[in-house]
Structure 1
Amino acid sequence: MNILILTLVILLCLNQNVTGHPLFDLLAAKLNDFASTVTKTFHHIRLEVRKLFQPPHTYEQLPSASLQYGDSIFKRTFNDFVEMTAAENETEIPEYINLKSEPTALMSTPQLATLHGRRVESHLVHTRDGYMLTLHRISPRTDRTPAMRVVNQTVLLHHGLLGSSADWILLGPEKSLPYILTDFGYDVWMANARGNYYSRGHVRMSVDSVEFWKFSFHEIGEYDLPAVVDYIRYVKKSNDPIDFVGHSMGATALLVMLSTLPEYNQYLRIGILLAPLAFMSNVEGPFKVLTAMANSPPAQLLKLIGNKEFVPTRKIPKWLALKYCKGPLLFCCNPLYFISGGIPEDNHAWNLSFLARMLYHVPAGGSTDTMLHYAQIVKSGKFHKYNKVHEEYSLNKISLPIVLFSSSEDWLATIPDVLRLYFSITNPIDHYIIRGRNMSHTEFVWGAHADELVFTKIIEFLDSGIRVLGSTKSNEVRNDLD
């Protein structure tokens, strides 16, 4: 109350000339001075804060912001997010209770990587439109033996639909792709797209606002990925081209960036796209339900899937899961598994610790507009901008050598659609197809046999893909039929 009275007096003194008793005049003058000082102070603070968080617009202006493992902001954000959803899931799916007891279930990416014996850094990256993204870096091993080959190359990994950087290390210290790469000497950086639980900051907008979530994969490709590439180049003080490995939506983001901002083709050496989502005419499963309503979603649909974040509860309603999904309810109620149809058939290969990590880290969050954008692509049969079916992405502007991976069991990135993408880009190296190995859309990253079927081939392409396959240009479609 005292503060309110003081505020009213200050406002009164600021907005009219007060006269009367000399003592009151003196008091008014003092209050005027005090109000002026307060106003100037807050104005100065506002300018400094805006300057601090103003997103960079040029390569030279990029800040070298680095937040090391253990930073309380990242830890608190992740733990709050996961523990809240853990409590919600336990109320309807009892199986989650046992999983939560697993020590690694609620660990963040830096915590998991540190537990796995790796050196990890967290970096904060600003985009040109004001979003604040977290970029995780895993440095090459320092305990390398003379027999270990030294690559000295940078590779950027981008997660897929509704994913995060944690996706890449869910398989643990022996089988995860980032660790395999760092053992070869690669400097590994893992992106986090806007909207997942590591990238929920903005210089002006609240994460609870509708405006914050008004983005699709287009903005991730046009703003997020370029900001990450620029930041890595700035931190490393190097013009050496970067290798890129993208899964699902991460592949989409690369295609958007290179076709929208073709100058970024020169900043990369090779692109390896796992289950890329671009052309999607042959999608199967529950995701097709969205396509009929993708352009003008009714209020009932938005109430079901969310009008900002896609399924913010991280649970598909039980009645919907039972209607469209076959398999354990534990997986069918998971939004990513629900839409991708990737219900694992070989659960015996997954121990309880892995299941806990996977189900508490996936999904990591994303916008409803992203899902609707993909649904529009399914409906139109074209790779176009959001709500602009006639504005297709110019894939002919992509000059980067690209390798494509697909699988016969993938419901979202089907072989015919990936093959169409292969013949739409100007510099394809190979289309590597995995048949009959139960390799669903999600298994490219954390499948029980991903290290054998996918990661080994990635290393081969990174090591000699351009030199060997690029020289033949046979456009041969390869298959893994073992």
Structure 2
Amino acid sequence: MMSKIISFSILTLVVSIVLINYFSRVKANHPLAHLNVQEIIQEYGYLVEVHNVVTEDGYVLTLHRIPHGRDNLSRERKPILLLPGILQSAWDFVHRGPSYSIAFILSEKGYDVWLGNVRGTTWSRNHTTLDPDKDPVFWDYTIHEIGVYDLPAFIDYVLKKTQQKSIHYLGFSQGTIAFFMMGSEKSDYLSKIKFMAALSPAFYLKDPISPILKFLSKNWRSVQGLFNFFNYRELFGRGDLFSSVVKFICHDENSILINLCIHTHFSIFGYSYHELNKSRLPLTAANTPCGISLKQFMHGLQMWDSGDFRRYDYGTERNLEKYGQEQPPHYNVSRVTTPVAIYYSSNDWAVNIKNMDRVLETVPNVVRNYKVPLDDFNHLDFLYAEHVVDLLYKVVVDDLSKY
């Protein structure tokens, strides 16, 4: 039996290597697809700075900064930190250009824009002592560590560099989870945030509409066991089989595979034909997805399954060892007294609108409750929609200006 398992594992490894080699040869058919975050910001005519931030537990993270708009005026700038969703990076806030990307829009509105890249993603794949390619312990983190280590490190660094006492904050999806985790576990940081814009707040996730997310979350233990069997610690990293397949099916808008790309995208996040720009899919796929730890992915699936906002579930025995109780502790969202604006949509297949009542009841200082006025606006439309500026960003910018 053991020899069969070993033979199967070797065969799987060989097949994976062959497939990765094949898929990775395909290049995205878009003139800007070869650019990284720094280069694409410069391509659009903006000054960009790259800063390294070291967390309390030794992860070396990258902050991309757009200090001012293209006018280069010397007026005082208000610092704002943006944190993207799972499998995303600073790239997702800038690659659509000045007319559509929220980072550039805020820059032109007088903000000093800082773009966070959380641990394990393409631009933050480093550590003071651990090698992500050789040390499995590098990947031993959940979403919790992003909230209690990465986000506080970003905030402290921005405050020190700008010599301000507080900043604005905008989070999308996992970027909202991290904020509420930080607010629950390190509430002293809340005084450093003037205002929090929560795009698709993703901490109560019961009953995702997506059939893929529903299946994965209901079977997260089996999914975890499968990945553990093949010794996966990192998922969707640049160059691995999963991300290579994504890039392959999305690399060319004229490819016969582009419909597979579109329907895979929609089956996870919600169908939104009116807001999709097919020509930009190759550009998006060139740098997204950008890497995630297995435990981080499992933490998300656990929250979709339970519907509760709580720490990672290790199982009864290990929970008792780690937490002193059989079930993971819940995060106390009621501690988050920062002014918070909630932006959500009815066609979000990842964050079911049915959970919004619970969100609004739990967060104590909601100053804006805004439902995007378009029935088929999906989860990724918060960053990618063709009409996102008129439908959402004008409201967000107006709300930010009040604080």
For 2:40 and 2:152, the matched residues in 1 are separated by 27
2:397 is matched with 459
1-structure distance, mates of 2:245, 2:79? 42
**What one-letter code is carried by the residue in structure 1 that aligns with 2:259?**
P
* Separation in 1, partners of 2:173, 2:154: 18
Alpha-carbon distance, 1:408 to partner? 0.7
Q: How does 1:208-227 map to 2 (within 5 A)?
A: 208=133, 209-227=135-153
Alignment of 1:352-371 (within 5 A): 352=279, 354-371=280-297
What is the deviation of 1:419? Answer: 2.6
**In the TM superposition, what is the alpha-carbon distance from 1:343 to its structure 2 partner?**
5.3
How far has the Cα of 1:380 moved from its partner? 1.7
- Structure 2 CA distance, aligned partners of 1:448 and 1:375? 29
- Report if aligned partners of 1:419, 1:431 keep a CA contact under 8 Å in 2: no
Query: Is the alpha carbon distance of 1:379 and 1:192 closer, same or farther for their aligned partners in structure 2, counting shifts above 3 Å?
Result: same
Per-residue CA distance 1:234-282 (angstroms, 9 max, x = gap): 111222x100000000010001111110000100000001011101112
- Quick check: 1:415 aligned with 2:346? no
Unaligned runs of 5+ in 1: 1-86, 467-482
Structure 2 residue 288 is matched with structure 1 residue 350: no
Give CA deviations for 1:259-312 in whole Å, capped at 9, x if unaligned.
1100001000000010111011121220112223335655335458x7311244
Question: d(CA) in 2 for partners of 1:111 and 1:170?
Answer: 10
Distance 1:415 1:327 in 2: 29
Structure-2 residue corresponding to 1:404: 342
Gap runs ≥5 in structure 2: 1-17, 250-256, 314-318, 320-326
Task: Determine whether 1:426 maps to 2:375.
Answer: no
Percent identical residues: 27
- Structural mapping, 1:34-433, within 5 Å: 91=22, 97=26, 100-141=28-69, 143=71, 152-208=77-133, 209-239=135-165, 241-285=166-210, 286-295=212-221, 297=223, 299-302=225-228, 307-311=232-236, 312-315=240-243, 328-332=259-263, 337=265, 340-342=268-270, 344-346=272-274, 350=277, 352=279, 354-387=280-313, 389-433=327-371
| Cα contact 1:327–1:343 (8 A) shared by 2 | no
Instruction: Report the Cα distance in structure 2 between the residues aligned to 1:126 and 1:316, rounded to whole angstroms.
Output: 29
Seen in structure 2, the aligned counterparts of structure 1 residues 366 and 191 have a Cα distance that, compared at 3 Å, is same
Matched-pair contact (CA < 8 Å) for 1:216–1:369: yes
Q: What's the secondary structure of 1:384's corresponding residue? A: coil
SS in 2 for 1:198: helix
What does residue 316 of structure 2 align with?
none
- TM-score, normalised on structure 1? 0.69
Rounded Cα–Cα distance in structure 2 between residues aligned with 1:145 and 1:224: 31
TM (norm. structure 2) is: 0.82
Contact 2:23-2:245 at 8 Å conserved across structures: no
Give the letter for the 1:457 counterpart. V
Give the direction of change, closer, same or farther, for the CA distance of 1:317–1:119 in structure 2 (3 Å limit). closer
The 3-state SS of whatever aligns with 1:430 is strand
Between 222-231 and 203-212, the greater mean CA deviation after superposition: 203-212
Q: Which amino acid aligns with 1:242?
A: I
Which structure: larger Rg?
1
Distance in 2 separating the partners of 1:381 and 1:92: 36
Q: Aligned pairs, how many?
A: 361
The 3 A distance-change label for structure 1 pair 368 and 316 is farther
RMSD after superposition: 2.9
